[in-house]
Amino acid sequence: MKIVYILSLVPFIGILGLLPFVNRIEPYVLGMPFYMFWMAMWVVLTSVILGIMYKLDPRNREGDPE
């Protein structure tokens, strides 16, 4: 198993593993309760992490004519 696939565990741990610690309303961040901000932040971070995984995976470079 390649080390780059370990990055896929980061969103899982961030969303589900840390959820009991961030389950509160106060403080408000960007006008949202903290819990809602936490989930929205992880949606964006998951996309970024998957993009990084895509760029680092050598199988995506095979067959690329450029």
State the DSSP code for 63.
T
Is the pLDDT at 43 greater than 80? The verdict is yes
Please state the separation of Cα 48 from the chain's center in Å.
7
pLDDT tens digits along 1-37? 577 788 888 888 888 888 888 877 788 888 888 888 8
Give me the DSSP letters along 2-61. -GGGGGGHHHHIIIIISHHHH---PSEETTEEHHHHHHHHHHHHHHHHHHHHHHH-GGGT
Please state the separation of Cα 55 from the chain's center in Å.
15
